Amino acid sequence: MTELPNFRTVGPPPPPVRKSRLVAIVLTISCGALLAGGSCFGFADTLNFNGPSKPINTLFACGMIAGIVAFLAGIIWAIVALVLHILRSRSQQP
């Protein structure tokens, strides 16, 4: 098996491409909101004030808490990313 020759360009290597975090942040926020909202409706639908509560309520409550935590983490992530973007753009100005 023959190997292809290694062609290199003259000069330093190009800077690494920076990937946008926007898609990950939006997915985290939206999935957290969907999980919290769906779990909230499930909890409210299975809640029984007059009799014993159903065991599934614990799962819905945990899902609601996990969704709220994911939503808030996404919001904090977005704020930190925005502040870092602003600080980096200011430091690169001449």
Give the start-to-end residue ranges of the domains of the chain: 22-91
| Digit-coded pLDDT (tens) for 7-29 | 666 667 767 777 788 999 999 99
For residue 71, with 0-12 CB atoms within 10 Å meaning exposed, 13-18 middle and 19 or more buried, which class applies?
Answer: buried
Q: Is the pLDDT of residue 93 over 90?
A: no
pTM of the model: 0.74
Q: What is the pLDDT of residues 34-81, one digit of tens each?
A: 999 999 999 998 888 888 878 899 999 999 999 999 999 999 999 999
For residue 81, what pLDDT is reported? 93
Report yes or no: 77 and 28 within 8 Å, Cβ to Cβ. yes
